[in-house]
């Protein structure tokens, strides 16, 4: 089973309000991300919450599982990834790591990554657009312990650097893998 771990624990300081709750068409940002993953065929979606936890969890309801990152205010993205991986240690063979603030992520991109895993069983699959890495990316279960053993100031960049020869870069034809919604300017630029 592949689980999707959606990173939605940030404090949205640059946005000035909780990003996950922003309208995105007829849904919110976080609902759009969850919907795209489920449409791509991911049956197991875990959302890591932190800032605005109660509102985000209420909004998600039963559409996905949630887990709270108690260290969200002090940690960085790595701490949320680690919380999600620990929660799925016994269930999943791979994790698709997704950004909660990337509602423009296309179902097609997620589906291509899942298909690549099923066909090639590469341990690390990262989508790439014009030689730039994006999200979501996938990591096989046999590498999770290495990620769980990372400690600040280490980041996922350190992990990817150490494993650079094993990364399978999946070329996609959309820049949406590079786009997230960090601040009001991004929101105005990308929102439907």
Task: List, as one string, the DSSP characters of 147-173.
Answer: HHT--TT--HHHHHHHTGGGEEEEE-S
**Smallest Cα–Cα separation from 8: which of 150, 87, 107, 103?**
103
Q: Where do runs of H (alpha helix) occur along the chain?
A: 29-39, 53-60, 77-87, 107-120, 144-148, 156-162, 184-190
User: Which residues of the chain have a pLDDT value below 70?
Assistant: 75
The reported pLDDT for the residue numbered 152 is: 86
User: How far is it, in rounded angstroms, from Cα 157 to Cα 109?
Assistant: 22
Tell me the percentage of the chain whose pLDDT exceeds 90: 97
CATH architecture under which domain 2-190 falls: Alpha-Beta Complex (3.90)
Domain boundaries, the chain: 2-190
The reported pLDDT for the residue numbered 78 is: 96
The reported pLDDT for the residue numbered 13 is: 92
Are β-strands 94-99 and 137-140 bridged in parallel, bridged antiparallel, or unpaired?
antiparallel
The reported pLDDT for the residue numbered 132 is: 96
The reported pLDDT for the residue numbered 145 is: 97
């Amino acid at each position: 089973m592949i689980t999707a771990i959606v990173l939605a624990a940030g404090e949205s300081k640059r946005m000035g309000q909780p990003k996950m709750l922003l309208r995105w068409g007829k849904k919110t940002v976080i609902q759009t991300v969850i919907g795209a993953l489920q449409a791509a065929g991911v049956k197991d979606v875990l959302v890591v919450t932190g800032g605005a936890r109660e509102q985000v969890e209420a909004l998600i309801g039963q559409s996905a599982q949630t887990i709270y990152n108690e260290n969200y205010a002090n940690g960085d993205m790595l701490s949320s990834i680690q919380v999600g991986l620990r929660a799925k240690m016994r269930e999943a063979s791979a994790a698709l790591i997704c950004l909660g603030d990337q509602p423009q992520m296309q179902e097609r991109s997620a589906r291509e990554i899942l298909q690549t895993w099923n066909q090639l069983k590469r341990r690390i699959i990262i989508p790439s657009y014009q030689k730039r890495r994006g999200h979501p990316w996938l990591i096989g279960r046999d590498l999770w312990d290495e990620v769980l053993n990372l400690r600040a100031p280490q980041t996922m960049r350190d992990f990817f650097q150490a494993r650079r020869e094993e990364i399978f870069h999946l070329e996609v034809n959309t820049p949406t893998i590079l786009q997230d919604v960090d601040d009001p300017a991004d929101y105005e630029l990308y929102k439907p």
